[in-house]
């Protein structure tokens, strides 16, 4: 009796200690809200969030909140209209990573949104169902603005994905996971550094989450500045990868580890069936990474030193709970039939290089060791390629860099043809917009070894624009900011259609009514004239509204403008010339 009582007391004490420990150790994983429909309002703000366990809040930035942003849900075929308001204390841009859209809507370094300005891009969603994301892309500021928390997920749905029996109850059995790492000052503020000392998942440190005892889908984004994550579970279970960056794979690929690089996404299915009551950890098995993979290198001093280097660490603690009422309990055997681009249809092979730029001096921390594309640092005024509209192109990237780089291209989703001569692994044999270029083998600092060659193929079927380029770059934000980036325009060679810098002067237009109330209309002298860009600024030259390729029939909504005098600059689609006219808002 006494023994069993003592036993019960011990059990009681033990469970009390266990509970209070877990309450102290874990924070509930934050799940971003969702926005859906066809009009999306996003306000970018500098704000604060309690990220660290104790002490001060961290100064952060977010879209509609205090870290990161809402998950945007798009339906393939819809035209989506974005209403982006920059209330930050700095200029920014918002790039729709992976989306196929016109360059003028793409949000690269050319579409700068000044402070207190509204930018309204829109486009038809043509991407496959998968997970994409949005993030700032202001040149030389991307690392800093992403570090502060700016970014968000995009979920595209389509009829093929919808017809499959897959988990899709957001936050219940369809869970977004945004992998990042951060380093904090003693005052709990972010250090803007390539590697953090703490895992931060969905803006949460030491996160835990409840998953039902059934098939659960995780949409995983590597949103880190530099680090790659070798994803696995603490019990070494297998999981099924169902998407690459830009769409479903033909069939699920079962693995127990997957190395995800900066900018990449995968969706995975994991079975927790009959495991209710058990707990597991989603981990990064980064102790196995080689030195030339981001996160596998140990530094003893300088800005790259970090506590997570070449080690295994927990990302998310998972507690399995009861099944939901309509659980998915089987993993489909097939998903879709991808029709990949036939390599014999390529019009051209472009040869790109990646190298360690000994001798190219950059002003910031990488100094003379910046990594470069095509032996050049990025120059926002230099166009690197003109891609003829309609081209199918093979991009062959030869890297003599001792380090591995995740290479990303805007505008298109591509198919990997080969990595060091081998066909892509099954989980990458679909649509991609980031491809990892492994470091040159046998090399080391100052010794290039044997270069690595990666080839992909893409089609540049639409959205010709001679003015606004698309970017290609390393998705390690530090490398990108340091100049590991280039740009290309898609050029329509035919004179009969699309963009063409016709000679001659742009036709005239007028603004009415003037003074205007809540709506301002544009009357074109030539009814075939189209606006390429409308930009409205106030008397002090401060931009208020940026409208790429605006649809002007319904007028421009100026109801939010204070009374006063404004300037409207209109750039004509055909000639790309601009004329500015004055109007008064009553």
The binding site for Cu ion (CB under 5 A) comprises 97, 371, 405, 410, 474, 476, 479
CB of 135 to ligand C2O, least distance (A): 6
Q: Which of 473, 535, 549, 585 binds ligand C2O (CB under 6 A)?
A: 473
CB-nearer residue toward ligand C2O: 99 or 464: 99
Provide the token pair at 28: 């509930």
CB-nearer residue toward Cu ion: 366 or 417: 366
User: Which of Cu ion, ligand C2O, none sits in contact with 468, Cβ below 5 to 8 A by type?
Assistant: none
Site residues for ligand C2O, window 370-389 (CB under 6 A)?
A: none
Task: Say how far apart CA 13 and CA 19 lie, in whole Å.
Answer: 10
Are 332 and 254 in contact, with CB atoms under 8 Å apart?
A: no
Are 223 and 270 in contact, with CB atoms under 8 Å apart?
A: no
CB of 410 to ligand C2O, least distance (A): 6
Site residues for ligand C2O, window 81-120 (CB under 6 A)?
A: 95, 97
User: Which of ligand C2O, Cu ion, none sits in contact with 263, Cβ below 5 to 8 A by type?
Assistant: ligand C2O
Q: Measure Cα distances from 171 to 174, 177, 194, 429 in Å.
A: 6, 10, 29, 28
The runs of H, that is alpha helices, within 398-484 are 477-482
Q: Which stretch binds ligand C2O (CB under 6 A): 86-94, 323-331, 469-477, 557-565?
A: 469-477
Q: Which stretch binds ligand C2O (CB under 6 A): 55-63, 203-211, 310-318, 467-475?
A: 467-475
CB-nearer residue toward Cu ion: 184 or 436: 436
Task: Say how far apart CA 549 and CA 81 lie, in whole Å.
Answer: 12
Q: Cα 262–268–269 angle (5° rounding)? A: 165
Give phi and psi for 524, each to the nearest 5: -90, 135
Q: Measure Cα distances from 51 to 205, 269, 317, 382, 515 in Å.
A: 7, 29, 17, 41, 49
> Beta-strand (E) ranges in 483-577?
485-491, 509-512, 519-524, 531-538, 543-548, 556-557, 564-572
C-beta nearest to ligand C2O: residue: 97
CB of 137 to ligand C2O, least distance (A): 5
Are 131 and 203 in contact, with CB atoms under 8 Å apart?
A: no
CB-nearer residue toward ligand C2O: 184 or 407: 407
Task: Say how far apart CA 503 and CA 577 lie, in whole Å.
Answer: 10
Our finding on whether 137 is near ligand C2O (CB under 6 A) is yes
Q: Which of 49, 100, 110, 135 binds ligand C2O (CB under 6 A)?
A: 135
Q: Which of 157, 405, 408, 585 binds ligand C2O (CB under 6 A)?
A: 408
User: Which of ligand C2O, Cu ion, none sits in contact with 479, Cβ below 5 to 8 A by type?
Assistant: Cu ion
Task: Say how far apart CA 103 and CA 3 lie, in whole Å.
Answer: 75
CB-nearer residue toward ligand C2O: 177 or 335: 177
User: Which of ligand C2O, Cu ion, none sits in contact with 207, Cβ below 5 to 8 A by type?
Assistant: none
Our finding on whether 225 is near ligand C2O (CB under 6 A) is no
Q: List residues bridging with 155 in a β-sheet.
A: 73, 131
Our finding on whether 471 is near ligand C2O (CB under 6 A) is yes
Our finding on whether 410 is near ligand C2O (CB under 6 A) is yes
CB-nearer residue toward ligand C2O: 135 or 432: 135
Our finding on whether 468 is near ligand C2O (CB under 6 A) is no
Binding pattern to ligand C2O, positions 492-531, x when CB under 6 A? ----------------------------------------
Task: Say how far apart CA 163 and CA 428 lie, in whole Å.
Answer: 23
Residue of 151, 161, 198, 154 whose CA lies nearest to 176? 154
CB of 586 to Cu ion, least distance (A): 42
Q: Measure Cα distances from 62 to 48, 49, 65, 302, 329 in Å.
A: 9, 10, 5, 29, 36
CB-nearer residue toward ligand C2O: 412 or 556: 412
Task: Say how far apart CA 408 and CA 95 lie, in whole Å.
Answer: 13
Task: Say how far apart CA 372 and CA 476 lie, in whole Å.
Answer: 12
Cα 57–chain centre separation: 26
CB of 369 to ligand C2O, least distance (A): 22
Helices (H) and strands (E) in the chain, counts: 4, 40
CB of 455 to ligand C2O, least distance (A): 20
Burial per residue of 161-194, b for 16 or more beta-carbon CB atoms within 10 angstroms, e otherwise: beeeebbbebeebbbbbbbbbbbbeeebebebbb
User: Which of Cu ion, ligand C2O, none sits in contact with 370, Cβ below 5 to 8 A by type?
Assistant: none
Q: How many C-beta atoms surround the C-beta of residue 79 within 10 A?
A: 11
Placement of tokens 């970014």 in the chain: 151
Q: Which of 69, 263, 296, 550 binds ligand C2O (CB under 6 A)?
A: 263
CB of 228 to ligand C2O, least distance (A): 15
Site residues for ligand C2O, window 282-311 (CB under 6 A)?
A: none
Our finding on whether 469 is near ligand C2O (CB under 6 A) is no
CB of 160 to Cu ion, least distance (A): 23
Chain residues that interact with ligand C2O, rule: CB under 6 A: 95, 97, 135, 137, 263, 408, 410, 471, 473, 475
């Amino acid at each position: 009796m006494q023994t069993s009582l003592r036993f019960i007391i011990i059990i009681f004490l033990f469970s009390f200690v266990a509970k209070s420990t877990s309450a102290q150790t874990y924070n509930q994983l934050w799940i971003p809200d969702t926005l859906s429909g066809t009009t999306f309002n996003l306000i970018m703000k500098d704000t604060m969030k309690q990220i660290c366990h104790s002490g001060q809040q961290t100064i952060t930035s977010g879209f509609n909140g205090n870290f990161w942003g809402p998950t945007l849900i798009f339906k393939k075929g819809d035209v989506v209209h974005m209403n982006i308001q920059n209330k930050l204390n700095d200029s920014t841009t918002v790039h729709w990573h992976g989306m196929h859209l016109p360059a003028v809507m793409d949000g690269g370094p050319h579409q700068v949104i000044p402070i207190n300005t509204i930018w309204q891009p829109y486009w038809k969603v043509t991407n496959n169902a998968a997970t994409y994301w949005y993030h700032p892309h202001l040149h030389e500021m991307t690392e800093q603005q992403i570090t502060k928390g700016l970014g968000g997920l995009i979920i595209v749905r389509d009829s093929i994905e919808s017809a499959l029996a897959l988990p899709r109850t957001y936050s219940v059995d369809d869970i977004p996971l945004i992998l990042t790492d951060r380093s904090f000052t003693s005052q709990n503020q972010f250090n803007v550094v390539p590697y953090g000392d703490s895992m931060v998942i969905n803006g949460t440190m030491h996160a835990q989450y409840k998953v039902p005892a059934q098939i659960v889908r995780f949409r995983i984004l590597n949103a880190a500045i530099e680090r790659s994550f070798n994803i696995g579970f603490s019990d070494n279970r297998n999981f099924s990868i169902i998407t690459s960056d830009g769409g479903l794979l033909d069939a699920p690929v079962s693995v127990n580890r997957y190395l995800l690089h900066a900018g990449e996404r995968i969706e995975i299915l994991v079975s927790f069936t009959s495991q209710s009551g058990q707990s597991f950890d989603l981990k990064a098995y980064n102790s196995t990474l080689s030195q030339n993979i981001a996160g596998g290198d140990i530094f003893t001093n300088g800005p790259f030193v970090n506590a997570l280097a070449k080690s295994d660490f927990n990302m998310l603690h998972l507690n399995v709970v009861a099944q939901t009422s309509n659980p998915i309990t089987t993993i489909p055997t097939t998903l879709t039939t991808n029709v990949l681009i036939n390599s014999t249809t390529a019009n051209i092979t472009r040869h790109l290089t990646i190298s360690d730029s000994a001798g190219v001096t950059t002003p910031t921390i990488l100094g003379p060791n910046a990594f470069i594309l095509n032996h050049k640092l990025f120059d926002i005024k230099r166009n690197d390629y003109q891609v003829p509209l309609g081209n199918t192109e093979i991009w062959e990237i030869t890297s003599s860099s001792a380090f591995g780089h995740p290479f990303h291209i805007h505008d298109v989703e591509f198919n990997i043809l080969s990595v060091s001569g081998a066909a892509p692994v099954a989980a990458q044999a679909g649509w991609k917009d980031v491809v990892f270029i492994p470091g040159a083998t046998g090399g080391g600092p100052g010794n290039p070894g044997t270069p690595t060659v990666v080839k992909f193929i893409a089609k540049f079927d639409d959205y010709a624009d001679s003015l606004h380029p698309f970017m290609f770059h390393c998705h390690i934000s530090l490398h990108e900011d340091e100049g590991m980036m280039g740009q290309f325009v898609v050029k329509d060679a035919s004179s009969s259609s699309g963009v063409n810098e016709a000679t001659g002067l742009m036709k005239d237009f007028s603004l009415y009514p003037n003074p205007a109330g809540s709506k301002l209309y544009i009357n074109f002298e030539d009814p075939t004239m189209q606006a390429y860009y409308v930009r409205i600024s106030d008397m002090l030259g401060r931009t208020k509204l940026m409208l790429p390729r605006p649809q002007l029939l319904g007028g421009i909504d100026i109801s939010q403008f204070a009374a006063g005098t404004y300037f409207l600059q209109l750039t004509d689609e055909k000639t790309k010339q601009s004329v500015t006219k004055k109007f008064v808002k009553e």
